[in-house]
């Protein structure tokens, strides 16, 4: 059973799948503690906040409520909601607190592609064909370390940046893994102009890519 904060269909706004119609599964629970996190309502897991899945689907505001849902129930929900997207993004919270293999395998068997967005602080349990986006969180309040195994598994590394020290952190992380075949993105934190200018300059310098959170510019979820 997965603790699900919300499920919705939208356009992926970040990284390699930018522009792709996607179904997002947002899982509850994260101890990493990123100061700029825009989904802090997914951090705590309280038994008092558990609700039926039907209530989760219709909620209209960000809340700490979650539902215990099986992989099979999620696939059924996609059909019930009339979702047309065939790409599923599993995010959080920190989705890799969970074993995502059963969910991803079922989705693949039903014709969906899968993607995980993780901080890289937990072991990644997912099938080989699942696309893994590691957005490494360094020196966060929770004290968790970015795992070499997560960097090795990543198909893309999407690093949040606001200042020069974030570039230095990324360069140190990249020394721990073989970057051949991996896509490296810089994503300006909070769409700050200074952060965006820094990210563009560093993308030019190191031949990386820019991720600009298109969904925020469009004003969609």
| Distance of alpha carbon 166 from alpha carbon 169, whole angstroms | 5
pLDDT value, residue 60: 85
In terms of DSSP bridges, do strands 21-27 and 67-69 run parallel, antiparallel, or are they unpaired?
A: unpaired
* pLDDT at residue 139 in the model: 79
Question: What is the reported pLDDT for 24?
Answer: 97
Give per-residue pLDDT as tens, 135-192.
998 878 788 999 999 999 999 999 999 999 999 999 999 999 999 999 999 999 877 7
Q: Strand, helix or coil at 90? A: strand
Strand segments, DSSP code E, in 65-210 are 67-69, 87-91, 113-118, 131-134, 156-161, 183-188, 209-210
Residue 106 near residue 72, CB atoms below 8 Å? yes
pLDDT for res 215: 62
Distance (Å, rounded) from C-alpha 28 to C-alpha 44?
7
pTM (predicted TM-score): 0.93
Mean pLDDT of 6-10: 96
As given in the structure block, the two tokens for residue 9 are 């269909």
Task: Confirm if 189 and 163 have CB atoms less than 8 A apart.
Answer: no
- Please give the CATH topology (third level) of the domain spanning 2-159: TIM Barrel (3.20.20)
Whole-angstrom distance, CA of residue 79 vs CA of residue 96 = 25
Q: Please tell me the predicted confidence (pLDDT) of residue 218.
A: 64
> Tokens for 173?
């992380």
78 alpha carbon, distance to own chain's centre? 19
Q: What are the residue boundaries of the structural domains of the chain, listed by start?
A: 2-159
Mean pLDDT of the chain: 93
Looking at the DSSP bridge assignments, the partners of residue 91 are 26
């Amino acid at each position: 059973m997965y603790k699900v904060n919300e499920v919705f269909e939208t356009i992926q706004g970040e990284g390699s799948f930018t522009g792709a119609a996607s179904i997002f599964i947002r899982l509850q629970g994260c101890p990493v503690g990123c100061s700029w996190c825009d989904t802090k309502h997914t951090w705590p897991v309280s038994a008092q906040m558990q609700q039926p899945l039907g209530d989760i689907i219709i909620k209209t505001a960000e809340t700490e409520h979650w539902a215990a849902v099986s992989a099979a129930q999620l696939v059924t929900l996609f059909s019930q909601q009339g979702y047309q997207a065939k790409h599923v993004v599993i995010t959080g919270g920190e989705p890799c607190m969970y074993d995502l293999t059963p969910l991803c395998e079922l989705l693949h068997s039903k014709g969906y592609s899968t993607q995980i967005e993780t901080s890289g602080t937990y072991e990644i349990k997912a099938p080989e064909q699942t696309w893994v986006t590691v957005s490494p969180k360094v020196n966060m309040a929770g004290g968790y370390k970015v795992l070499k195994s997560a960097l090795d598994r990543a198909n893309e590394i999407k690093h949040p940046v606001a200042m020069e020290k974030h570039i230095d952190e990324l360069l140190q992380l990249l020394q721990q893994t073989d970057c051949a075949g991996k896509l490296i993105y810089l994503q300006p934190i909070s769409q700050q102009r200074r952060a965006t200018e820094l990210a563009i300059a560093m993308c030019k310098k190191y031949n990386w890519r820019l991720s600009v959170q298109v969904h925020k510019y469009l004003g969609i979820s």
